[in-house]
Amino acid sequence: MSSTIPKSSDIDVLVSEVGPRDGLQSIRRAMPTEAKNRWIAALAASGIREIEVGSFVHPKLLPQMADAEEVVHAALKLPGLTVVALAPNGKGAARGITAGVHKLSFPVSASHQHSMANIRMTPEQAIEEVRAVCAMRSSTPGRFPTIEVGISTAFGCSLQGAVSEDWVMEMAAKLVEAGARSVGLSDTAGSANPVQVKRMFRRLRSEIGDHAGAAHFHNTYGQGLANVVAALEAGVDTFDASQGGLGGCPYAPGATGNIVTEDLVFLLESMGLKTGIDLEALIAARAFVAEALPG
Amino acid sequence: MSSTIPKSSDIDVLVSEVGPRDGLQSIRRAMPTEAKNRWIAALAASGIREIEVGSFVHPKLLPQMADAEEVVHAALKLPGLTVVALAPNGKGAARGITAGVHKLSFPVSASHQHSMANIRMTPEQAIEEVRAVCAMRSSTPGRFPTIEVGISTAFGCSLQGAVSEDWVMEMAAKLVEAGARSVGLSDTAGSANPVQVKRMFRRLRSEIGDHAGAAHFHNTYGQGLANVVAALEAGVDTFDASQGGLGGCPYAPGATGNIVTEDLVFLLESMGLKTGIDLEALIAARAFVAEALPG
């Protein structure tokens, strides 16, 4: 997920690794907790500054994520790492807050149909859920996580079809008003094109200023990095990506995996944009996935 | 290969299919001539306006291209298709002229080492070879093909390393002076990045005006379409691509295949740029490759 929180001054672009959450939830088999921890540690050691390590969703729905607390606890010990977890609702958020995550990310969908399929709430209800979570800040002792939202299906929905850009912008403004620190745009359906990406992220910035958050692209028809180039031109400085391209939404038929973290880092560094990530060490981290999930 | 010849006004971008040449030469097994002809016809029927159908290289070096004359003859019967063939030298060019191709493309490499490995000539010798071919115009009765050059290794060379941008621009000017109608830039090594692509193509246009030709990108680390977006911003309107991404240079270790024609068409059309190509029909044309070269 995203960040408009000032990044370390030694990097130009924040690469946010979502593989341990978005990637693993799309694989039926669960990766053992110890293997997840080793993988996350290897990713962090390569210079990745932010990792979405799990999802506080009900374990009946996603048994692969049942160990989210344990994984968060291990990740919090890694120096310099921002630990993010996804929460689909207030219950999940409460678990994440208790676990001590640095950031909680909410998938709020612009498409009514996708929203119902994914989290059984309308977009409007999801916004109210974010508001309720942000309101927990006053009654929560200690550190409260940064609340981030990625607007799913922001560029179109494979269930519903077109999504109104005005509605996406209206949602973004409402989410900021509800207390979200940043709101990014996610191409859940894998249908975004560079023209649309540049237009939408420019508009997002003009609507919500520095609350404008991360870009989350999929790689359908190989368009992922083309969209990254367009988003960079619109001023986006945080990108979600997944090691090896693992991932994709089960409720977005036809979409392929996330953009590949290794490819994204190669692109950014070759463009002269510092990521702080050692590409060789990043590629070596693949071994931890291959070992735990052969094939 | 490229075109700065005015395109039909009903398209915005010319997609030049190089699979039957660049793709097939990288596969050891030869595709039967009849299968090539069926594939080329299917590509043309999908709306592809320009196809590099073969290479007039010595059949001992590339037996897969030994049927270039027959393939050209069949392709010349397809209505509206611009038939391109590659010629590595004057001998090949003479064969292409006799066969009646619309365009001859020359791979002139900016890297001394790559040039020697690929065509056994220095870059300077290759420029003189282009000059000699262009001079054949005065002594050739009938139609003379358009002479196009793609500068190989224009963005770097996997054998030699860095390639001087000044040298690439100097070559482009010399090639135009030698008689080439258009000069494009090819990322043979698959190492170009969007920043470099935009800079180089802008510079090319300022050096040689509307003689500036096509972009030829490979897809190493998934960068191909990212480079297309950058090239579009620099005003490039002709792109080489290969069905299914077949192809790559045997003398560019580490480079992967060409950009995928289907992905390129999807990108351009989704950006609102007309290609004149029916994506479904284009995808259906894959069957002719799969049938003739199983696996």
Q: What ipTM was predicted for this assembly?
A: 0.76
Distance in Å, alpha carbon of B218 to nearest chain A alpha carbon:
13
- B134 flagged as catalytic: no
pLDDT of A4 = 42
Tell whether A226 is within 8 A of chain B (Cβ). yes
Active-site residue, selected from the candidate residues B249, B255, B265, B267: B249
Per-residue pLDDT of B36-95, as tens digits, reads 999 999 999 999 999 999 999 999 989 999 999 999 999 999 999 999 999 999 999 999
Contacts of B191 in chain A (CB under 8 A): 270
B193/A270 CB distance under 8 A? yes
Question: Which residues 179-198 in chain A show a CB within 8 A of chain B?
Answer: 191, 193-196
> pLDDT digits over A136-153, tens only?
988 888 889 999 999 999
* pLDDT tens digits, B171-189: 999 999 999 999 999 998 8
Residue from A223, A239, A256, A280 whose CB has the most chain B CBs within 10 Å, to mutate = A223
pLDDT digit string (tens) for B225-252?
999 999 999 999 999 999 988 876 555 5
**Chain B residue with minimal CA distance to A230?**
B229
Report the pLDDT value the prediction gives residue B252, as an integer from 0 to 100.
55
d(CA B85, CA B53): 6
CB B267 within 8 A of CB B12: no
Closest CA–CA distance from residue A196 to any residue of chain B (Å): 8
Fold of B14-292: TIM Barrel (3.20.20)
Is residue A6 over pLDDT 50? no
The pLDDT of B206-219, averaged and rounded, is 95
- Cβ pair B262:A224 closer than 8 A: no
Dihedral over Cα of B30, B33, B38, B44: its sign: positive
pLDDT of residue B180: 97
pLDDT in tens, A165-222: 999 999 999 999 999 999 999 998 888 999 999 999 999 999 999 999 999 999 888 8
Q: Is the dihedral of CA B99, B102, B108, B114 positive or negative?
A: negative
**Residue B280 sits at the chain A interface (C-beta within 8 Å):** no
| B35 contacts chain A (CB < 8 A) | no
Indicate the SS3 state at residue B149: strand
Of B195, B230, B263, Cβ closest to residue A222: B263
* Confidence check: pLDDT of A254 > 70: no
Q: What is the mean pLDDT of residues B210-237?
A: 93
Q: At what angle do helices A90-99 and A123-135 cross, to 10 degrees?
A: 30
Quick one: A15 exposed, middle or buried, by C-beta within 10 A (0-12, 13-18, 19+)?
buried
Q: What is the pLDDT of residue A8?
A: 61
What pLDDT, on the 0 to 100 scale, is given for residue A121? 94
Please tell me if residue A260 touches chain B, with a CB cutoff of 8 Å: yes
Q: What's the whole-model pTM score?
A: 0.85
pLDDT at B3: 44
Looking at residue B11, its pLDDT comes to 95
Angle value at C-alpha A132, between A127 and A136, nearest 5 degrees: 145
For B266-278, the DSSP string reads: HHHHHTT------
Orientation of helix B194-208 relative to helix B224-233, angle to 10°: 40
Minimal Cα distance from A228: which residue of B? B226
Q: What is the pLDDT of residue A33?
A: 95
- Hey, of B198, B221, B265, which one would you mutate to test binding to chain A, going by the most A CBs within 10 A of its CB? B221
Cα separation of A268 and B66, whole Å? 42
Amino acid occupying residue A230: A
Q: What pLDDT shows up at residue A27?
A: 83
From B251's Cα to the closest Cα of chain A, the distance in A is 22
A282 touches chain B (CB under 8 A): no
* Mean pLDDT within A74-99: 96
Q: Are B189 and B255 in contact, with CB atoms under 8 Å apart?
A: yes
CB burial of B136-149 (b: ≥16 within 10 Å; e: otherwise) equals: eeeeeeeeebbbbb
Q: What's the rounded Cα separation, in Å, for the pair A94 and A82?
A: 18
Residue A263 contacts B, CB cutoff 8 Å:
yes
Residue A5 confidence (pLDDT): 45
A162 at the B interface (CB within 8 A)?
no
Q: Which residues of A form the catalytic set?
A: 249
Mutate to test the interface with A, among B219, B225, B273, B277 (most CBs of A within 10 A): B225
| pLDDT band per the 50, 70, 90 thresholds, residue A29 | confident
**H helix runs in chain A, sequence order:** 24-25, 33-45, 68-75, 90-99, 112-119, 123-135, 165-178, 194-208, 224-233, 261-270, 279-284, 286-292
Q: Do B194 and A260 touch (CB under 8 A)?
A: no
Is the pLDDT score of B6 beyond 70?
Answer: no
Q: How far does the CA of residue A189 sit from the closest CA of chain B (Å)?
A: 14
Average pLDDT value for chain A: 91
Q: Where do the domains of chain B lie?
A: 14-292
Task: Determine the average pLDDT of the residues in B199-209.
Answer: 98
**Residue A32: what pLDDT?**
94
Of the spans B61-70, B164-173, B282-291, which averages the highest pLDDT?
B164-173
Helix H or strand E segment including B183: strand B182-186
The answer to whether the CB of B152 falls within 8 A of the CB of B108 is: yes
Q: Report the alpha-carbon angle B49-B52-B56, nearest 5.
A: 150
Q: What is the mean pLDDT of residues A62-90?
A: 95
pLDDT > 90: percent of chain B? 76
What pLDDT does B5 receive? 45
Chain-chain contact of A229 with B224 (C-beta, under 8 angstroms): no
Q: Give the A:B interface size as CB pairs under 8 Å.
A: 68
Q: Which residue has the higher pLDDT, A45 or A5?
A: A45
Query: Which residues from B are below 8 Å from A271, CB to CB?
Result: 193-195
For the ranges A124-133, A239-248, B143-152, B201-210, the lowest mean pLDDT is seen at A239-248
What is residue A195's predicted lDDT score, i.e. its pLDDT?
96
Higher confidence at residue B7 or residue A96? A96
Whether residue B112 has pLDDT greater than 70: yes
Q: Is B256 on the interface with A (CB under 8 A)?
A: no
The pLDDT tens digits of the residues spanning B124-164 come to 999 999 999 999 988 888 889 999 999 999 999 988 889 99
